[in-house]
Amino acid sequence: MRTRARPRVRIRFAPLCALALAAALAGCSTGHDATPGDTPSRSPSALDSPSPHTTSPAELCTHLITYWAKQELDEGQGSGLDYQEKGLSDGQNEILLTTLAAARKERAAHGAAAGDRLIEQQAQRGCAERYRNGTPTTDPWAQTKQPTPSGSS
């Protein structure tokens, strides 16, 4: 008679184990701590997050020029990197060199804060001018390329 009692206990215990396992797996499947009423498609953080901002070429240029100009002036003798190692194009490097020359004079005459303000103004102005019609399309190697005969690639 004892052998029949065990199967009944197992049968009663099996649904409880299955229910506990299903609850545990459901809690793990969302990928985050779920709160009552939360669903993955309507989480508050997803609804409140702003749309991503795409950095324009002029904004990126301004950031690069401002960063490298301040690095050059704060270190005194430069970073030792050439413009390509800094991630600058030839045109951006021209803006950097012009900005640095003006900022050095401004810092000498009116202090570091005035020089930093000038860096930001000139970088923004120079980059806005450079990218006013979109990304520049000049080819630095255009003068060294040989024309190809018509009909060949």
| pLDDT tens digits, 44-72 | 555 667 778 888 999 999 999 999 999 98
The one-letter amino acid code at 15 reads P
- For 81-113, the pLDDT digits (tens) are 888 998 999 999 999 999 999 999 999 999 999
Closest alpha carbon to 99 in 131, 64, 132 = 64
Residue 13, SS3 per DSSP: helix
